[in-house]
Amino acid sequence: MKRLTVVIVALFALSATQAQILDPVKWTFAAKKTGKDEAVLFLKATIDNGWNIYSQHIGEGGPVPTSFNFTPSSDYQFIGEVLEPTPNKKFEKTFNMQVLYFNKEVVFQQKIKLKKGQTVVKGAVEFMVCNDQQCLPPDEKVFAISIK
């Protein structure tokens, strides 16, 4: 009976390690005031080795592009669009197209004009992550960035 219990426990332990949830992208969010009534939001993705996330500028039929959805507020207004650094580019057979992607780390930036000295910018980022063997379903991370 002890042997059967040990085997069952071992099988549960093995299945638990097999069912680990992959989370290859870690997001951090910050802001820096650049003037009395202006600030820049920094939306940083740190990406595990071998994985990629995609640019905001992906054509039809490709992977889900990274996108930012900000909660409207009368405390601030956006200046321009969310900026991204120059992405890498490669042909991906899975999508049968050239894709623009980032690996290791990417920092997106959004300038805002403040109508109030202190505020919190809330929103969410949606992104898709792939490696050379698989793509994970699109994910969304909610954020709240304090500006003081």
- Domains annotated for the chain, with CATH where assigned, are 24-147 (2.60.40.1250)
How many CA atoms lie less than 13 Å away from 124 in the CB half-sphere? Answer: 7
Nearest to 70 by CA among 107, 141, 125: 125
Mean pLDDT of 52-74: 96
pTM of the model: 0.84
Q: Count the Cβ atoms, other than its own, within 10 Å of residue 125.
A: 22
Give the model's confidence band at 2: pLDDT under 50 very low, under 70 low, under 90 confident, else very high: very low
> Above 90 in pLDDT, residue 11?
no
pLDDT of residue 89 exceeding 70, the answer is yes
The pLDDT value recorded for residue 20 is 63
In a 3-state reduction of DSSP, which class is residue 8? helix
